[in-house]
Structure 1
Amino acid sequence: MDVEIVGRMLSTLPEDDDHPYRTGPWRPQTVERNVDDVEVVAGEVPTDLDGIYLRNTENPLHPALKAYHPFDGDGMIHLIGFRDGKAFYRNRFVKTDGLAAEVEAGRSLWAGISEMPDWSLREDGWGARRQLKDASSTDVVVHRGYALTSFYQCGDLYKLDPYTADTLGKETWKGKFPFDWGVSAHPKVDEHTGELLFFNYSKDAPYMKYGVVDENNDLVHYIDVPLPGPRLPHDMAFTENYAIMNDFPLFWDAELLKEGVHKPTFHRDIPSRFGVIPRRGTTADIKWFEASPTYVLHFVNAYEDGDEIVLDGFYQHDPEPKDVGGNRWERAFRFLALDNIKSRLHRWRLNLVTGQATEESLTDTITEFGMMNGSYTGRDYRYAYAATGKPNWFLFNGLTRHDMKTGAEEHFDFGDGVYGSETAMAPRVGSTSEDDGYLVTFTSDMNADESYCLVFDAARLGDGPVCKLRLPERISSGTHSTWVDGSELRRWHTEDSAASAIGL
């Protein structure tokens, strides 16, 4: 495996760093690499696997001002592309304005998630707090053939070449990007219409807005979604005809917020609410539904079933865990561990005629970070592929295949000391059914000090990987990923430019 080093960043992190989310499985990278023919160490790369898997990663270069949170790290995209039974790999920092400023300064300049906003050394930050660095290290989606990375709260969308992972600048939507509010962590792409749907939020009224960008990259719809006060939404869902926003009772304590303290508090006596909006509807068209109090970090899908909208997501049975035991780090980051928040797949049915919501738990298995076949997003579907978590830690130790129709589950455990990524579903070329394809993920093997890409048959997860490829360095754990079909990329990129980008 020939590895080309194309870039290197200077880190000022201490050699004796003891922060568990900057060391071990979360050890950041400083080197950017190209590999044009990734080494296959087991099995064979399927010849009908065609496309690119991209994963975003929190990758800090400098110590925090006082208290580091794993969502503060600078964005780094790792990608692996497949075609004709071969694979290529790239990793690049997301070249944000914040990264450039801190590289020049040689230190952190903005407060992080766990710090007081007025600790920032600069006042041109992002997010609902407006004093955070836009690290663009949370999610990655592909719209119109280009990757877009996003920030944990709200910020810019950075545009990347999906073949090289090189940053091409900020997405502007032809000058109509909402630079005053930014875009939330999880914009959604409808593969059927080519639209990108998004929301954003702020500490200023109306507290939330919703928008649509069409396949021509025009911001064609943007409306207010009034809320009772500042909220902390993280994700959204959509169907063929509707978008679904949320107002969960986990938000900043109002009295502390007046003093500049941003302390998320779970208000157990306030119901959850879902706002259903026609995809091009007005503020007056929003219908609100009440449900049991919880917090949902991520939804899997939504679809229409007669008069009802079916909404599936990961219901937290304990959004504010307290007595979890463990060491000081486990206690400090207890709300990141899946077993502590007790996240389980849950279904809500929102009746558009009666205005009533019903709900049910779909499983006793604790999972999160669910993925599915993207061509079924917003439509009736059957399968979700989600991560299981290491107890007391924000680390993925296995995969679960959820059958949403029968309740059947299939599991795969990575093994002791091996941690995975959010796992994308890649339909095989010419696929004929929802689970006719592959699952693609990255793992960090702490025993071998290696990272691998694993490819599974999506219909037979329990059989284990059909192939295993070695990455050039053990990579950091991270958050979100996506898959884009090669045919979709070639709609927007010529064969010659794509081949040149990956050295073919």
Structure 2
Amino acid sequence: MSLRFPSTPDFLGPLYAPSRFEGGVHDLEVTGSIPPALKGRFVQVAPDPIYPPMLGDDIFFNGDGAVTAFRFADGHVDLQRRYVETDRLKAQRAARRSLHGLYRNPYTNDPAVEGLSTGTANTNVVPFNGMLLALKEDSLPVAVDPETLATIGSWDFGGQIRNTPFTAHPKFDPGNGNLLAFGYEAGGLASRDLVYYEFTADGHKIREIWVTAPYAGMVHDFAVTERFVVFPVLPATADLERIRAGGLHFEWQPDLAFQFGVMRRDGDGSDIRWFTGPNCFQAHVLNAFEEGERLHLDMPSADGNVFAFFPEAGGGAPAPETLRFELARWTLDLRSNARDAIHATLMDAPCEFPRCDDRVAGRPYRHGFMLGLDMREYAIDRLGPPAWQFFNLLLHVDVSTGAVQRWVAGDAECFQEPTFVPRAVDAAEGDGYILVLVNHLETSTTELVILESLAIAEGPVARVALPMRLRMSLHGNWLPDTDDDRAVAPNHSA
């Protein structure tokens, strides 16, 4: 029986060819010096399909979740990588083939997996209450042992929540370590229901609030401030009739307004207010904070559909070069009866995968770290057009002054998501290190680089070479060697 992946963009090249690697490597090669403050683990997760797609092709977001952990101790770095043993993955391994069809469409799956969770645990991995939670927004978390990366199993917080979708972008309150989360399509496939959860640092549910969105749109990330929750609803909508007919889960609606739902964290949801923005694409939150009765929400933004694999009804999607990208600030004025979100541009340039210092998540802040794109720095003459989700700049943005620092790894290199690590628990905001994976396109290799966070233009202080290529990943976090939950808890705002 032939086992070959398709020759399509989501399965080709140094970024998207499946890695399919599990194992460990002790003492990775290090150039430079690992900062002594780095004691802990950098964990991240990638969609990395085990088997070729059942229908002959698939999208990047539908791969099986593989967690990679880099262990830092005494200047040494070890690597471990292991797949999350989801119900979906176990069924595929038993059958020795893919059993799943279109992304988030159970009606296109093999009948053998009917009733099984289709979650892939491939989007984010966060520490919580002595575990890692591997996350995909259409299903419950999957608990993973942080030492061995062995899968514990689907996690419903000890029976405290139902079998609802659970965000891949939970937040942690830096004041008390509480885990804040939500799920969309929470009442069933293509429903308009949103559910908000809050758990104490030791796992006890203290809040569950249900609200209804204006339409069944994607809500990939959300924002939390000291008093409020904000749900940004993307005009990529789900339709149950279309899904049952074997169509795509999401379809872009070019005439639909973006929505921001605001409610109090300590309420019952009856106070939720919906603010309207223009039709635009926004997936990830850099940070949000209160200024009196005004909320400021900072997000990378594009003026049209970035996800061409979720096109309009007629199949159309704009070419990326025709879109305008920026870092936007949306202000939601709770004192006003107006329903319009007020827009301002913080940085007029392409950017994505934003991160702040988690210790000021939901509070006024200054420093943002993210990826960007500058085609002038890319060797298109040698390499041809870049792949989708290609970012060749590492950026530090001072949102107070507008100043931007950048670092380019080379003209044949690109980055995966950056992660910020504070120099110490009591270090000033933004003072620490950036950990970021670099893909070398001409050699099909990957390395982990470490930079001073406030001096990224000076380049890495250390480089960690990997003896294998890692497929493009999505999100990750830092777990310091500490017993202070508030120090380890990330507000993954990207």
Tell me, yes or no, whether TM beats 0.5.
yes
**1:60 and 2:45 matched:** no
Aligned equivalents of 1:114 and 1:461: distance in 2? 39
**1:49 and 2:49 matched:** no
For 1:33, the aligned partner's letter is G
- CA drift of 1:187 comes to 2.0
- CA drift of 1:458 comes to 0.2
For 2:300, the aligned partner's letter is F
Equivalent residues of 2:356, 2:369 under 8 A apart:
yes
Task: Summarize the alignment of residues 168-187 of structure 1 with structure 2, pairs less than 5 Å apart.
Answer: 168-179=152-163, 181-187=164-170
Equivalent residues of 2:215, 2:237 under 8 A apart:
no
For 1:19, the aligned partner's letter is T
- CA drift of 1:334 comes to 7.1
For 1:315, the aligned partner's letter is S
SS of residue in 2 equivalent to 1:103? helix
SS of residue in 1 equivalent to 2:69? strand
2:184 alignment partner, one of 182, 198, 201:
201
Equivalent residues of 1:195, 1:214 under 8 A apart:
yes
Aligned equivalents of 1:338 and 1:186: distance in 2? 25
- CA drift of 1:13 comes to 4.1
Task: Summarize the alignment of residues 277-316 of structure 1 with structure 2, pairs less than 5 Å apart.
Answer: 277-316=263-302
Task: Determine the structure 1 residue equivalent to 2:80.
Answer: 90
Aligned equivalents of 1:110 and 1:38: distance in 2? 36
1:480 alignment partner, one of 442, 457, 475:
475
Task: Summarize the alignment of residues 55-454 of structure 1 with structure 2, pairs less than 5 Å apart.
Answer: 55-66=44-55, 67-113=57-103, 117-121=107-111, 122-126=113-117, 133-151=118-136, 153-179=137-163, 181-202=164-185, 203=189, 205-252=191-238, 256=242, 259=245, 261-262=247-248, 264-319=250-305, 342-356=324-338, 357-389=341-373, 391=386, 393-429=388-424, 431-454=426-449
Deviation larger for 223-232 or 358-367: 223-232
Deviation larger for 236-245 or 201-210: 201-210
**5+ long unaligned stretches in structure 2:** 309-314, 376-385, 489-494
- CA drift of 1:449 comes to 3.5
Normalising to structure 1: TM-score of the pair?
0.84
- CA drift of 1:437 comes to 0.3
For 1:54, the aligned partner's letter is V
1:39 alignment partner, one of 3, 20, 29:
29
Deviation per residue, 1:341-397 (Å, 9 max, x gap): 544211011112214431112221101110121111111111111112575522332
Equivalent residues of 1:315, 1:346 under 8 A apart:
yes
1:27 alignment partner, one of 17, 20, 28:
17
SS of residue in 1 equivalent to 2:388? coil
Aligned equivalents of 2:236 and 2:149: distance in 1? 35
SS of residue in 2 equivalent to 1:200? strand
Deviation per residue, 1:235-270 (Å, 9 max, x gap): 101011111112333313687457453363443443
**5+ long unaligned stretches in structure 1:** 1-10, 127-132, 323-331, 494-504
Aligned equivalents of 1:115 and 1:210: distance in 2? 24
Deviation per residue, 1:417-451 (Å, 9 max, x gap): 32321000000135531121000012222333432
Aligned equivalents of 2:460 and 2:389: distance in 1? 23
Judged with a 3 Å threshold, the aligned counterparts in structure 2 of structure 1 residues 167 and 341 are, in CA distance, closer, same or farther, namely farther
SS of residue in 1 equivalent to 2:158? coil
Aligned pairs, number? 463
Deviation larger for 211-220 or 456-465: 211-220
For 1:194, the aligned partner's letter is G
Normalising to structure 2: TM-score of the pair?
0.86
For 1:88, the aligned partner's letter is D
Equivalent residues of 1:334, 1:392 under 8 A apart:
no
Equivalent residues of 1:12, 1:61 under 8 A apart:
no
Judged with a 3 Å threshold, the aligned counterparts in structure 2 of structure 1 residues 204 and 266 are, in CA distance, closer, same or farther, namely closer
Equivalent residues of 2:102, 2:109 under 8 A apart:
no
Task: Determine the structure 2 residue equivalent to 1:500.
Answer: none
Task: Determine the structure 1 residue equivalent to 2:383.
Answer: none
Equivalent residues of 1:419, 1:443 under 8 A apart:
yes
Q: Once superposed, what is the RMSD of the aligned Cα atoms?
A: 2.8
For 2:468, the aligned partner's letter is E
Aligned equivalents of 1:178 and 1:404: distance in 2? 39
Aligned equivalents of 1:13 and 1:339: distance in 2? 36
- CA drift of 1:466 comes to 0.4
Aligned equivalents of 1:491 and 1:224: distance in 2? 27
Deviation per residue, 1:287-339 (Å, 9 max, x gap): 222222223111111111111111111122112688xxxxxxxxx9978x975
Q: Percent identity?
A: 27
**1:460 and 2:455 matched:** yes
Aligned equivalents of 2:457 and 2:397: distance in 1? 12
Aligned equivalents of 1:185 and 1:370: distance in 2? 15
Aligned equivalents of 1:125 and 1:315: distance in 2? 35
Aligned equivalents of 2:336 and 2:101: distance in 1? 46
Judged with a 3 Å threshold, the aligned counterparts in structure 2 of structure 1 residues 37 and 315 are, in CA distance, closer, same or farther, namely same
Equivalent residues of 2:104, 2:249 under 8 A apart:
no
Deviation per residue, 1:65-98 (Å, 9 max, x gap): 2121111111011121223322222111111111
